[in-house]
A and B are shown apart, each in its own frame.
Chain A
């Protein structure tokens, strides 16, 4: 649905050359909720603007719905943009127009007949739970309500794609959650492909099935949500994952560890997907006569998958402990010895 091929973007501003994107490639499939995460200045905003050509790449190709945007006339480009809804961090609603008029604008631009606009806007406002705010002005709405208007406006022309530019960054956690649920509903009910950029890992965790991590104009890691969360490779990715998945061993537990006699070992275990539902630890313990002592546990749900972190002290004979450790490793449980 969206394909960015080796995109480079260089800004020349008063003799200062800024390389915002340094060869970014990305594929978003139909039906994906694809999240791009990164700190400010990583190039996320420039990246998302490539998809509707608000920013043009210095080099590289942008292909949306099988059309190469660089090869379109401006009329064709405007038609493609009508297939791509966009919502913004600051909502960008027209302050001089009512909620109804704001949502109607894309339809007016398309010269849609008045009675059709009427019914379509009504339907959209119902979908975003704002049917009673139709005559209100944006400055009478809360942030969450404004974003709902933004979403209704973006959906007015039945787009194939919805771009979310830090759409929840100006909202409180509860409102963020309700907007994210709405995005999920849009993805499911209308089968709209969604591309989200954010600096909040919980946004990615809540709605995305795929994620890319950006740093300094490059994508440093990407893949399915569960893989990136389960096995983050780059330091930046690990830091982001840590903001929502706690797998750090608390210091107080580290202090308690006493394995000088070799009769105990502290392991950090990681269960992903199917593994999390099996009694692998129990099996290992009973098989090798080990006493487990669970020190810390954390379970995260990721789009129907489970990611479990467990810190456990295994007590028993040294040999048996090694065997139990191997047993779990063979069953694809992530294991890592915790040392002081």
Chain B
């Protein structure tokens, strides 16, 4: 007999989906523009700016050098300031966002750097503005790669939400730790592992399909 019920598992799944979707959406909202900013201010970029690039680059590197579990604890005061508490699903979302923004920015940067520089040159020769170059050339050419980037980020987030379970963030990870690990319930471990595998498989397949579509309309 397992120590948890079906509704509890469903609640955990919903919590995980909430954490992933909210932090992904917010992370993308900030991470994608930052990734674009990195590419265009880089040496050789269309609006090269050494100061902006190095500040951004360093901040991203610093945040990215922290393992999520450390970050989670380190920014507790900030989390408490933003959402008023440091425990629960809402509190878990803050460090998840802080964690995922630089990750997405870096991945977006890599995707955009793959765009053939000749295309950017052609855009400049056409008299395109910086915004037009980003919107009509850079982003459409990198779309397939950007979708795969966000897929990778989403899967990274699922892993991080499991760790957020340790601050009582709820979700599948929380179930696995408090019921499976701490109460030695192997059945719960197996179920949570299966759910996580299915999550990752579905998201990766979806990402692959969308990316293929973006490349081939």
Contact = CB atoms under 8 A, between A and B. Distances in A.
Interface of A: 52, 54, 77-82, 84, 86, 88, 90, 92-98, 105-106, 108-109, 137, 157, 163
B5 to A, nearest CB: 48
B118 A88 contact: yes
A92 B121 contact: yes
B69 interface: no
A96 B214 contact: yes
Given A78-B128, A94-B137, A96-B143, 7 more contacts: A52-B125, A77-B127, A80-B127, A88-B118, A90-B118, A93-B119, A96-B217
Contact of A109 (B119, B136, B140, B141): B136
A81 B125 CA distance: 6
Given A52-B125, A82-B126, A94-B137, A109 B132 contact: yes
Given A88-B118, A109-B132, A97 B125 contact: no
Contacts, number: 57
- Which of A82, A93, A96, A137 lies at the interface centre, i.e. has the most chain B CB atoms within 10 A of its CB? A96
Given A78-B127, A78-B129, A108-B136, A95 B141 contact: yes
A79 to B, nearest CB: 7
B31 to A, nearest CB: 21
Best-buried of B126, B141, B143, B216 by chain A (most CB within 10 Å): B126
Interface in B5-46: none
Interface residues of B, number: 22
Nearest to A78: B127
A96 B140 contact: yes
B118 A109 contact: no
A240 to B, nearest CB: 27
Contacts of B119: 92-94
B127 A109 contact: yes
13 contacts: A54-B121, A54-B124, A80-B127, A81-B126, A81-B127, A82-B126, A84-B125, A88-B122, A94-B119, A96-B141, A96-B144, A97-B140, A109-B136
Contacts of A79: 127
Nearest to A83: B127
B201 interface: no
A109 B132 CA distance: 7
Interface in B138-163: 140-141, 143-144
Closest 10 CB pairs of A and B: A81-B127, A78-B127, A92-B118, A92-B122, A86-B125, A82-B127, A96-B140, A106-B126, A92-B119, A109-B128
B155 to A, nearest CB: 24
B46 to A, nearest CB: 11
